[in-house]
Structure 1
Amino acid sequence: MRKGLIMMINKKRIFLFFCAIDCILNVNTLSAQTSVQVKNTLDFSRNEVVAVPVSALKSFLNKNKESDLRIKDSSNKYLPIQWIDYDGDGKGDELLFLATIDAKKTNIYTIVSDAKIRLPETEVTTYSRLVPERADDYTWENDKVAFRVYGPKGQKEALAGVKGSTLSSGVDIWLKRTDQPIINKWYKGYLTDPMFYHKDTRGEGYDPYQVGDSRGTGGIGIWKDDKLQVSQNFISSKTIAEGPLRTVFELTYAPWSEFGVKETKRISLDIGSNFSKFESTFEAEKPVPNYTIGITLHKNEGEAKLNDKTGYYLHWEKIDDAFVGEGIVVNPAVIEKSIAFKSEIPDQSNLLVVTKPQQKLTYYAGFAWQKSGQIQNQKDWENILQKQSQIIENPLLVKVK
């Protein structure tokens, strides 16, 4: 009997042993985690969208579903995330989350797999879309700024003399003073009142900005013989992403200039940023002398500052009863020269940043409006531009462990 009891005890131990192993395996499967280390090398704090390529998450996603992924900070607070699917295959190519990092600090974020944890909602967002209700503008925004460009129907109408249509590849800016979305609201108002968003009657902002044939804030051209060769309106658009952290879309342009340039422009805008990121890819039939980025100087009544050494360019002007700061930030290594070109011809005065010819040109263009509360004076705007140039030169260092 004693022998039988010993055997029963041993069997029970074996059973408990394997149960324990099974429980450990199940726990590891459910709570498998990894970490993302984000380092800020600059001497000021940063609040930026971090992008993690899916290739860096391969070992994690081999064991867990993409839809179950969650990220928390060191205080165990779960953060909003966004997946970007660039190729449209239904799978995420890049994972985004928002990181707030003090000067010269490194933060550790933990990735967990738990479908039961609800993704945190955000009060603000990014957004973009084609707008067929007003010809075919393409418009985008975040909690700070809004922009638009003009499409093929608008071009056709402009050439036909239809009032209110625009023939331009310049970039329009909408002056908003709310962190809430305004695109859909303003275009809905436009349907009954074409002047709806040209008047600041609701405390949200308005569009007083004249683009015309100028470069607006960030349009492209080719500078030759003291003249700017530019494209017409975009011919097609594709929305890639819009969500709480980033909106991304692409525009294509018909061949333009004497050099037969075909251009695809990918534009993205992150939450909390005053700057859209422009990535223009070019194919040219003939050698191109340069690609030039511009900001309209309107009637030459504002102030322009050119900084080839650091790669940021400032325009400060008064529009109606408040000031607006516009700017371009680009890697100084690609710059050939810059000029504030003034002309008596309407819409031909532009701050021009002439860059070396290359297949792909990346730059940032944006603005801040005094009435938004983001800036009070020109120095405030210049500080934002200076920080943006440092951010471009010193991106956050991201390591998945």
Structure 2
Amino acid sequence: MNKIHLLFLLAIVGISCVPTDQPVSFVVSNALSFERNQEVIQVPIELIVLKKGQQLENFGIADEMGNLLSIQYVDNNQDEISDGILFQPTVPANGQSKFFLKELGAEEEIPTSMEVCYSRFVPERTDDYSWENDKVAFRMFGPTAQQMKEEGAPGGTLTSGIDCWLKKVEYPIINKWYKKYESDPNAYHVDSGEGLDNFHVGISRGCGGIAVKQNDEFYTSKNFTSFKTLSKGPLKTAFELNYSPWSAGDSTIIETTKKINLDKSSQLSRIEVNVKGAKNIWAGLTLHENDGQVTVDSLGAWVSYYQPHGDSYLATALLAAPGFFSGSEVVLSEEKDLSHAYLNLAVNEGKAVYYAGFYWQESGQFEDNEAWELYLTQFSAQLADPLVLSQIN
């Protein structure tokens, strides 16, 4: 249940710049009735004044006992200078945890952690863009795959739906599976112990692709046209996809960018769509054979689809960020790939924000569908009441 809360000066009560020769201590507060240990938050560079010659990379984050935590430096404005430190605190129910910025000595090192939050463009498999963390993996499809489909060439793909890669290991698999693909294109469709890709997208929305509804019809974009990788590391990956304008009935939809974040231990990717030409967009979950169970929680602003999948079960879900939920709709069709559970999202100031993800029973990440839906309910509560970081000296 991860969420990066960028709490800058105006959002952090009592924060001021202090010299680096004085430890910067802060607390993270949790107002909810359950422990939180899977959210990634950011300490902004404004908390400290760097001495001449220092960089943010000279500092780590330690707990009250002085133990250094796993962190990730981030460059939010993409100017090639780190301007924040991400970390993943454990905070008790209705409680607080204390931490401090620690200047690293010559012999001190940040705890090593593999790059589990990873994403990249994949030209060796046409032109996918794939991303993953320690729980889930996804991919979307680019312009070459679209062109191949439109020209009738084998191997083409025309969809802006989101594909799920069903992994059941915590280490990264993207590069490994694509490497196997190069020698055997069917390799990652077979479970060799790490999981497999047996999730069908087709022309559907897959797990979270968007549509615009006009006169009771749903219209969708084509494949992404370009990409930009923003970050990857032990705690977060982020990237942007761009799309050409597309038609929705009499309207032209300009989807300028789709920014996607995935944090460590989260089942759900955060998706921010920047769009003009529509007051609402609809994020969809494909219903495949229409043999599963749709659950809608309007209070929590989420919809989930629990379905038989191969010899197991799969649950996909969509969850609106606070302020964007406008309802839901289930659309059944006899045409292949056109049955969906939709989440209706308001476009506020040119954007809509939602989360999309899944759990696969074979991964062992949840005991059952009830536990999965509790996860979604708690995830929604965390978005509504984020962890608060406050300086205490």
TM-score, normalised by the number of residues in structure 2: 0.90
- The unaligned stretches of length 5 or more in structure 1 are 1-27
User: Does the 8 Å contact 2:273/2:352 carry over to 1?
Assistant: yes
1:99 counterpart SS class: coil
2:380 corresponds, among 360, 384, 389, to 389
Residues in 2 aligned to 1:234 and 1:175: alpha-carbon distance in whole angstroms: 22
Residues in 2 aligned to 1:213 and 1:364: alpha-carbon distance in whole angstroms: 20
User: Does the 8 Å contact 2:133/2:265 carry over to 1?
Assistant: yes
User: Does the 8 Å contact 1:301/1:317 carry over to 2?
Assistant: yes
Identity of matched residues, %: 38
How much does 1:63 deviate?
8.6
1:355-370 equivalences in 2 (<5 Å): 355-358=345-348, 359-370=350-361
User: Does the 8 Å contact 2:285/2:342 carry over to 1?
Assistant: yes
How much does 1:59 deviate?
3.0
**Residue 255 (str. 1) matches residue 268 (str. 2):** no
Amino acid at match of 2:59: L
1:138 corresponds, among 129, 133, 151, to 129
| 1:111-163 Cα deviation digits (max 9, x unpaired) | 02124221110256210000000011000000000000001111111112223
Tell me the equivalent position of 1:265.
258
Tell me the equivalent position of 1:325.
315
Residues in 2 aligned to 1:352 and 1:224: alpha-carbon distance in whole angstroms: 14
How much does 1:88 deviate?
2.5
User: Does the 8 Å contact 1:80/1:119 carry over to 2?
Assistant: yes
Tell me the equivalent position of 1:156.
147
Amino acid at match of 2:362: K
Residues in 2 aligned to 1:30 and 1:232: alpha-carbon distance in whole angstroms: 50
**Residue 275 (str. 1) matches residue 268 (str. 2):** yes
Distance 1:62 1:108, change over 3 A: farther
Tell me the equivalent position of 2:213.
223
1:86 corresponds, among 29, 51, 76, to 76
User: Does the 8 Å contact 1:31/1:112 carry over to 2?
Assistant: no
2:188 corresponds, among 186, 197, 202, to 197
| 1:86-121 Cα deviation digits (max 9, x unpaired) | 333211132201111111111111102124221110
Decide which structure has greater helix share.
1
Provide the alpha-carbon RMSD of the alignment.
1.8
Amino acid at match of 2:24: T
User: Does the 8 Å contact 1:274/1:366 carry over to 2?
Assistant: yes
**Residue 349 (str. 1) matches residue 342 (str. 2):** no
Residues in 2 aligned to 1:124 and 1:136: alpha-carbon distance in whole angstroms: 22
1:2-401 equivalences in 2 (<5 Å): 31-47=21-37, 48-54=39-45, 56-59=46-49, 64-116=54-106, 117-123=108-114, 125-200=116-191, 202-258=192-248, 259-263=251-255, 264-284=257-277, 288-331=278-321, 333-358=323-348, 359-401=350-392
1:184 counterpart SS class: helix
How much does 1:384 deviate?
1.1
Residues in 2 aligned to 1:88 and 1:30: alpha-carbon distance in whole angstroms: 24
User: Does the 8 Å contact 2:60/2:101 carry over to 1?
Assistant: yes
Q: 76-85 vs 114-123, which deviates more?
A: 114-123
User: Does the 8 Å contact 2:321/2:355 carry over to 1?
Assistant: no
Q: 235-244 vs 73-82, which deviates more?
A: 73-82
| 1:205-229 Cα deviation digits (max 9, x unpaired) | 0011011111111111112222211
How much does 1:262 deviate?
2.1
Q: 62-71 vs 123-132, which deviates more?
A: 62-71
Residues in 2 aligned to 1:160 and 1:38: alpha-carbon distance in whole angstroms: 55
Amino acid at match of 2:265: G
| 1:150-180 Cα deviation digits (max 9, x unpaired) | 0111111111222332111001000000001
Tell me the equivalent position of 1:16.
none
Amino acid at match of 1:174: W
The structure number with the bigger radius of gyration is: 1
User: Does the 8 Å contact 1:306/1:339 carry over to 2?
Assistant: no
Distance 1:92 1:215, change over 3 A: same
Amino acid at match of 1:162: A
Residues in 2 aligned to 1:256 and 1:398: alpha-carbon distance in whole angstroms: 41
| 1:48-90 Cα deviation digits (max 9, x unpaired) | 2111233x32435679421211110012110111111133321
2:152 counterpart SS class: coil
User: Does the 8 Å contact 1:64/1:113 carry over to 2?
Assistant: no
User: Does the 8 Å contact 2:20/2:48 carry over to 1?
Assistant: no
Residues in 1 aligned to 2:92 and 2:54: alpha-carbon distance in whole angstroms: 32
| 1:218-274 Cα deviation digits (max 9, x unpaired) | 111112222211100000000000001000100011001232222201101000110
